[in-house]
């Protein structure tokens, strides 16, 4: 029987990915939405989260799709009401907030899942298995997109806690922390912050690798024209390039599998919901904070450069 789930924060990602993924799954029944403005046709809609929790004790799982700053209060209320919780990325505003949620979920005996959708991109698992046992020499993240195209009107991205260019950049770090066998840590960070914003429009980072590989990342929200979501890796046994956010893989210039799906990224959210169904079944927790730790470190140690104002 399908498990009833409520979706809270009906905005871009809820409409583009969560609603279709739930509709296509036999594991789930979308039973209610909670949003101040958004609704989904045919689904019972609430504009108050506490009212939904009170009125629908039959809904055992909530998926939180709002931006990170308001998400903690929703997650805390859901756990306190005995509901399992699925968190969009990034899982919270601060690491301590995320640790607190995990502890609350353990105490309450409910599942909590910090989702990282890019880890579910079509070629990430293949890249991880190809890298296993090889010696890493160099890894470069190149994540450059046009913020006006992909985040129109999202003022929260420019406010403290909104992460700026790390909102997409954390996706790259979620892949890197998934496919590398060894842990890395940040050694330098430069944050380019528009003079009218609180978060960076671009950032450069370097990392230490335990076996001396060169690891770096460049994130830029100002890229017009071609967009890049690439991770380029050199090993002792060849060169691997993950592109299109993990949807495409080449090894020594040879494409590894022709995507049969017109848009291989559409598999990410069905896989996240399959993972959540498994966590709920097993009464388990998946709260990997490694991608967020790197972003937090970038903010902790980053040098700030003020750049021209961002006008949408
Ligand atoms: P969005 O459309 O700007 O916001 C989602 C919804 O959150 C809004 O429609 C709003 O619904 C609710 N919301 C906004 N501020 C709120 C507040 N202060 N309190 C309560 N609810 C609030 O953003 P989005 O693009 O869907 O992104 C949401 C999250 O998904 C982010 O963490 C983002 O990183 C992640 N994500 C986004 C994408 C993408 O392509 N956009 C991809 C993957 C992951 P109401 O006003 O109706 O309450």
Domain tally for the chain?
2
Q: Whose CA is nearest to atom 11 of ligand 1?
A: 9
Per DSSP, 161 falls in state: T
Q: Whose CA is nearest to atom 32 of ligand 1?
A: 67
Indicate if 67 and 172 belong to the same structural domain. no
In a domain, 301, yes or no: yes
Ligand 1: distance of its center to the CA of 104 in Å?
24
Ligand 1: distance of its center to the CA of 64 in Å?
9
Pocket test of ligand 1: the residue of 21, 66, 175 to mutate, having most ligand atoms within 8 Å of its CB, is 66
What whole-number percentage of the chain has pLDDT above 70? 97
- The model's pLDDT over 61-102, given as tens digits with 9 standing for 90+, comes to 999 999 999 999 999 999 999 999 999 999 999 999 999 999
Domain that holds residue 106: 3-114
Ligand 1: distance of its center to the CA of 157 in Å?
10
Indicate if 179 and 76 belong to the same structural domain. no
Pocket test of ligand 1: the residue of 8, 9, 77, 118 to mutate, having most ligand atoms within 8 Å of its CB, is 9
Helices assigned H by DSSP within the chain: 12-13, 19-23, 49-55, 68-80, 95-108, 124-131, 147-150, 166-179, 268-282, 290-301
In a domain, 312, yes or no: no
| Model pTM score | 0.97
In a domain, 205, yes or no: yes
Domain end call among 86, 114, 142: 114
Query: Residue 201 maps to which CATH number?
Result: 3.30.360.10
In a domain, 32, yes or no: yes
Return mean pLDDT, the chain: 96
Indicate if 160 and 302 belong to the same structural domain. yes
- The model's pLDDT over 210-266, given as tens digits with 9 standing for 90+, comes to 999 999 999 999 999 999 999 999 999 999 999 999 999 999 999 997 555 555 556
Alpha-carbon span 245 to 171, nearest angstrom: 8
**Is the model's pLDDT at 106 over the cut of 80?**
yes
Indicate if 74 and 41 belong to the same structural domain. yes
- 89 catalytic residue (yes or no): yes
């Amino acid at each position: 029987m399908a498990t009833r789930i409520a979706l809270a924060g009906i905005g871009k990602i809820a409409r583009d990915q969560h609603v279709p993924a739930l509709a296509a799954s036999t594991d789930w029944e979308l039973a209610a939405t909670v949003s101040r403005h958004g609704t989904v046709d045919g689904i019972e809609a609430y504009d108050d989260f506490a009212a939904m929790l009170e009125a629908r004790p039959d809904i055992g799982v909530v998926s939180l799709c709002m931006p990170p700053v308001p998400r903690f209060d929703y997650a805390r209320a859901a756990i306190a009401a005995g509901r399992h919780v699925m968190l969009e990325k990034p899982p919270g505003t601060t690491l301590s907030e995320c640790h607190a949620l995990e502890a609350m979920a353990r105490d309450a005996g409910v599942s909590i899942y910090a989702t990282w959708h890019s880890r579910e991109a079509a070629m990430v698992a293949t890249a991880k298995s190809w890298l296993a046992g090889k010696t890493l020499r160099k890894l470069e993240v190149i994540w450059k997109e046009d913020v006006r195209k992909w985040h129109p009107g999202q003022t929260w991205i420019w406010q403290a806690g909104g992460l700026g260019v790390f909102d997409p950049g954390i996706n790259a770090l979620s892949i890197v922390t998934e496919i590398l066998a060894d842990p890395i840590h940040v050694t330098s960070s430069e944050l380019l912050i528009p003079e009218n914003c609180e978060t960076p429009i671009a950032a450069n980072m370097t990392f230490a690798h335990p076996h001396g590989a060169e690891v770096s990342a460049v994130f830029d929200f100002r890229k017009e024209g071609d967009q890049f979501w690439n991770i380029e890796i050199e090993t002792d046994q060849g060169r691997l390039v993950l592109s299109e956010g993990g949807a495409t893989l080449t090894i020594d210039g040879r494409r590894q599998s022709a995507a049969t799906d017109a848009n291989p990224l559409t598999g990410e959210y069905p896989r996240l919901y399959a993972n959540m169904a498994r966590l709920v079944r097993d009464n388990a927790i998946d709260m990997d904070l490694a991608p967020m730790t790197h972003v937090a470190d970038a903010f902790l140690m980053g040098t700030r450069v003020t750049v021209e104002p961002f006008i949408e």
